[in-house]
Amino acid sequence: MAANRSQGMPQAIATVWSRGGIAGFYQGLIPWAWIEASTKGAVLLFAASEIEKVSIGNGINPAVAGLLGGMGGGICQAYATMGFCTTMKTVEITRHKQAATGVKPMSTWAVFGDIYRREGIRGINKGVNAVALRQCTNWGSRMGFARLAENMIRSARGKKEGESLSALDKIASSTIGGALATWNQPIEVVRVEMQSAAKNASADRPAKLTVFNTLQYIYRNNGIRGLYRGVTPRIGLGVWQTVCMVSFADYVKAWVNKK
C-alpha cells in the first residue's frame, strides 16, 4: 500500500493475491526476511538493553531510558543488516514479475547480482538512511511508550517503580507502545518509495531520491493521506513486534540474568 498509494486495503490484498495466491503474501521471505529476522532481533536486544541499563544506572527515567535504548538499537539494526535485507524485500514485492515476450522473470539472487553489478554496495543498501530513521523512531517510540505505559499501569495498581507487572499488564503496555509508534508512517512510506522497483512512477519523480525530496514528491502527488497509506496493517505489525521484543524480551533477559 505504501508503494501503490492509490490502492485501498481490498485492492492491495487482491493485488498481492494475484502475485501467487497465499505465496504472494510471503514475497521476499527467502532469503532476505530470514537473514533480517535472524539478525535484527539479536542486534536490537543487545544494543537496546545495554543502552537502557546504562541510562537507568545513571538515574534516567525508565521511559526515557527505553526511548534512548530503542533509538540506539534501531540505528544499529539498520546499518548492521536491515539495509540490504529491507531493500531486497521491497524490490521483490514491487518488481514486475510477469513473463514478458516469453522471458522468465529473474530469480531473487539474479536481481541481487544485477543491482550489485550496476550500483555496487550503495545499490543494495538504497534507502538505508531512511531505514535507519524509521528504525530509530520505531523502536525509540515503541520502547519509550511501552515503558511509559508500564509506569502508568504501576501507578494505577498502586505499585512502586521497579515492581514487576503481570504478563497481561506487560502485553497491554506493549500493545499501547506498538500502536502509538506508528506516528512515523510517513518515514516508512518514504523508505518504500526509495526502494521500490515499480515501473509506474510519474514523470515528476526525482531521478536521484533522498529522504527529503521523496517526502516532497509523495506529498505533492498524494497529500497527507499518501504519507499515511498502509498505517492500518502496520499498527498490527507494530503491536506484535513490540509485544515480542519488549514484553517477551524482558522475560528472556530476566531468565538469562539468573543463569
Average pLDDT, the chain: 85
pLDDT band at 60 (very low <50, low <70, confident <90, very high): very high
- H helical segments located in 157-228: 167-180, 185-195, 211-227
| pLDDT score of 64 | 93
Q: Enter the DSSP assignment of 192.
A: H
pLDDT band at 179 (very low <50, low <70, confident <90, very high): very high
The number of residues in the chain equals 259
The dihedral built from the CA positions of residue 152, 158, 163 and 167, taken in this order, carries a sign that is negative
Q: What is the mean pLDDT of residues 112-127?
A: 82
Cis peptide before 31 (omega within 30 of 0): yes
pLDDT band at 172 (very low <50, low <70, confident <90, very high): very high
pLDDT band at 235 (very low <50, low <70, confident <90, very high): very high
CA 105/CA 19 separation, integer angstroms = 13
Its pTM stands at 0.75
90: Cβ contacts below 8 Å, ≥ 6 apart:
3, 28, 127, 191, 192, 195, 196, 197
pLDDT band at 197 (very low <50, low <70, confident <90, very high): low
Q: What is the mean pLDDT of residues 203-222?
A: 87
- In terms of Cα–Cα distance, which of 177, 144, 162, 150 is closest to 254? 162
CB 122 within 8 A of CB 142: no
pLDDT over 60 (residue 102): no
67-87 confidence digits (pLDDT tens): 999 999 999 988 887 667 777
* Measured CA angle at 163 (ends 158, 166), to 5 deg: 85
pLDDT over 90 (residue 185): yes
Q: How far is CA 156 from the centre of its chain?
A: 32
According to DSSP, the residues that pair with 100 across neighbouring strands are 103
137-153 confidence digits (pLDDT tens): 999 999 999 999 999 99
